[in-house]
Amino acid sequence: MKKFFKDKNLFALYSLFVLFILGAAIFAPWLVPYDPFDAAMKDSMLAPSFEHLFGTDKLGRDCLSRILFGMQTSLMMTLSLVVIISGIGMMIGLISGCYGGKVDMVFMRIADMMLAFPGIVLAIAIAGMMGGNIFNTILALAVVSWTKYARLARSLTLKLRERDFIAAAITSGTRLRQIVWRHMLPNILPTIVVTAAMDIGTMMMELAGLSFLGFGAQPPTPEWGLMLNEGRQHIQTAPWLMIFPGTAILIIVTIFNLWGDSLRDIMDTQKIN
């Protein structure tokens, strides 16, 4: 283990950052200096100071507390979405690649239909019809984002079907269900996991974008996209209301993208070896 992290120092560094972020999100309720929901109009729109490091918003709520608490909300939404779309897409791709025929045709035509529309536009339309809240936002993005994983899983499954050990399993009379769970799933899962890790930053940006437009988290929930939306009206008089949530999104997305890239490099190296 020590040798692994020594050889993969970038992956180890980014993993530490990711663990730090996850820890800060989990323990956010105990780390915040103030109650992120506690409004104090006498402290409205205070500039950053020693008392309020990131300033306060129009309701007098501490921005640092809301950003820390918002990390929990944003990460919960993002990780839930990534797990949903990667899991659903992987299973659809597996089923489509294994059974082929009409099953494959139906699933792939549905995927083609979803890809015919710009993803974020379709997500906005779905979220707008269902109403703005966290659950509906995740559902809307899940509806338009599973296709990438389905196509990837189907492609990997079709390649695996041509391998000798799969042919040997079929010849020996192994049931298709057992082949899927014992042979195909373990072989495609690493690629799906790497793709999901690299997708975390993208999904976080899309969730924040929908919240910014009013289709995601609703007040008084501390969520970074919503905080940007609330701060845009005061960008000239209180720029910290947008600077700090925007910087938080930039840092977290960058770290997860770098972590995903380093994880992909490790998996590619292991495949070569």
Q: What is the pLDDT of residues 39-88, one digit of tens each?
A: 888 888 999 999 999 999 999 999 999 999 999 989 999 999 999 999 99
Q: What's the half-sphere exposure (Cβ side, CA atoms, 13 Å) at 195?
A: 21
Q: What is the pLDDT of residue 88?
A: 93
Instruction: Classify 56 as helix, strand or coil.
Output: strand
Q: What is the pLDDT of residue 273?
A: 41
| pLDDT classification of 272: cutoffs 50, 70, 90 | very low
% residues pLDDT > 90 (the chain): 40
**CB 35, CB 60: distance < 8 Å:** no
| CB-count exposure of residue 245 (10 Å: 0-12, 13-18, 19+) | buried
Look at 120 and 84; give whichever has higher pLDDT: 84
Distances (CA, A) of 21 to 72, 194, 226: 9, 19, 20
What is the 3-class SS of 132-167, one letter each residue? Answer: CCHHHHHHHHHHHHCHHHHHHHHHHHHHHHCCHHHH
Q: What is the pLDDT of residue 195?
A: 92
| pLDDT classification of 2: cutoffs 50, 70, 90 | low
Look at 183 and 28; give whichever has higher pLDDT: 28
Mean pLDDT, the chain, rounded, equals 86
Mean pLDDT (whole number) for 176-192: 83
Q: What is the pLDDT of residue 1?
A: 54
What is the set of domains in the chain, with CATH numbers?
A: 14-28+61-253 (1.10.3720.10)
- Minimal CA–CA distance to 206: which of 253, 254, 239? 253
| pLDDT classification of 9: cutoffs 50, 70, 90 | confident
Q: What is the pLDDT of residue 167?
A: 74
| pLDDT classification of 243: cutoffs 50, 70, 90 | very high
Q: What is the pLDDT of residues 142-166, one digit of tens each?
A: 999 999 999 999 999 888 887 777 7
Taking residue 200's Cβ as centre, other Cβ atoms within 10 Å add up to 22
Which range, of 39-53, 176-190, 203-217, averages the lowest pLDDT?
Answer: 176-190
Distances (CA, A) of 173 to 166, 168, 169: 11, 9, 7
Look at 7 and 152; give whichever has higher pLDDT: 152
128, two tokens: 């707008």
Beta carbons within 8 Å of 207's beta carbon, 6+ residues apart: 74, 77, 78, 81, 137, 138, 141, 216, 225
Q: Does residue 186 surpass a pLDDT of 70?
A: yes
Q: What is the pLDDT of residue 113?
A: 84
